[in-house]
Amino acid sequence: MEPKVNIAVVVPCYKVKNSIAEVIKNIGNEVTQIIAIDDSCPEGSGKYLESISDDKRLTVLYNKDNLGVGGAVKRGYLHALNNQAEVVIKLDGDGQMDPKLIRTFINPILALKADYVKGNRFFDIEHVKSMPKLRIVGNLVLSFFSKFSTGYWRIFDPNNGYTAISASTLQKLDLDKIDNRYFFESDMLFRLNLARAVVIDIPMEAKYGSEVSNLKIKRVLFEFPIKHVRNFIKRIAYTYYLRDFTLASLELPIGLGLTTFGIATGIGNFIHSQALNQATPTGTLILISMSVLVGIQLVLSFFAYDIDSAPNIPIGKLT
């Protein structure tokens, strides 16, 4: 690693008074600036951190109002960019993420192999066993939705908050449009795909103690799927119809149209046949079957193209 690389770590602070000091203490010398954001923390995490830490790299920012984890991180990102950071790490203050992994997260970016690096807690089955069962189920469901909405089909654990991003990539993102709350990480991936950034996973182990998550199950079950569907529609519209037009741009609408036609016609004919107590003509059955089969094949072909179209040239190599 180049010794003069300006590495910043952004740490959002909300109800982390019991763990934040240890997190900051374990951040290694490869980091040149540490930015902690007190997101109107009721425990006064920021003031507490300033009172006990003598780390010269540390800057504590204060949000007058609670902006959410995304809002706090975005403020930290802007501060890091204003201080000429070249790579920015996002690290939670609850002690679940090992600061010793920072070098591992930074290396692919410095080697121009990735623009954005994120943790993946599901890589090692032994690590997965230590996770709360509810989190495992929730992450599996959200990972499935995320693949559709972000276009990064080969990554997993989209809500993992341990990330690293290059300054050149960060400057291409409109931070104002990224979600301020717990959908922040997934929304980041969506915006990164629109910017054609290369994203990779880094296997990691998360530590689970007595901390209580501020994320409510109701929010995950209802709010996240709706936002994923919204981002999917936006991504498809922008990628396949506004920015470019390919064969896949035809496959999706034709496939969906044929499938819908086949299913609707099949249901209609079934109801009609039952009412008249007569069999559906063979020709009609063939039309229905072929419409559904061809339609599904076209949709699958579109998603195969979408999977293969993931960004593969880092922004760092283009700038």
Least confident of 124-133, 208-217, 242-251: 208-217
The confidence score (pLDDT) of residue 1 equals 46
Q: Which residues pair with 60 in a beta bridge?
A: 36
**Average pLDDT for 208-213:** 56
State the pTM of this model.
Answer: 0.89
Helix (H, G, I), strand (E, B) or coil at 101: helix
pLDDT for 162-203, tens place per residue? 999 999 999 999 999 999 988 999 999 999 999 999 999 999
The confidence score (pLDDT) of residue 315 equals 86
Q: Which helix (H) or strand (E) holds 90?
A: strand 87-90
pLDDT value at 126 more than 80: no
pLDDT value at 65 more than 70: yes
Is beta strand 58-62 parallel, antiparallel or unpaired with respect to 33-38?
parallel
Residue 36 has phi, psi (to 5 degrees) of -100, 135
The DSSP string of 181-237 is: STTHHHHHHHHHHHTT--EEEEE------S------HHIIIIIHHHHHHHHHHHHHH
CATH numeric code, 7-240: 3.90.550.10
The confidence score (pLDDT) of residue 62 equals 96
pLDDT for 239-267, tens place per residue? 999 999 999 999 999 999 999 999 999 99
**Average pLDDT for 114-118:** 97
**Average pLDDT for 68-93:** 96
What CA–CA distance (Å, rounded) separates 114 from 106? 9
**Average pLDDT for 119-142:** 76
The confidence score (pLDDT) of residue 125 equals 74
The confidence score (pLDDT) of residue 131 equals 72
The confidence score (pLDDT) of residue 208 equals 63
- The pLDDT > 70 percentage for the chain reads 92
Name which of 43, 94, 104 is nearest 69 in CA terms.
Answer: 94
pLDDT value at 129 more than 50: yes
The confidence score (pLDDT) of residue 130 equals 66
Torsion of CA 117, 119, 123, 125, to 10 degrees: 170
Residue with tokens 């003509």: 281
pLDDT value at 42 more than 90: yes
The residue extents of the domains of the chain are 7-240, 246-308
What CA–CA distance (Å, rounded) separates 226 from 248? 24
Q: Supply angle C-alpha 224, 230, 233, rounded to 5.
A: 140
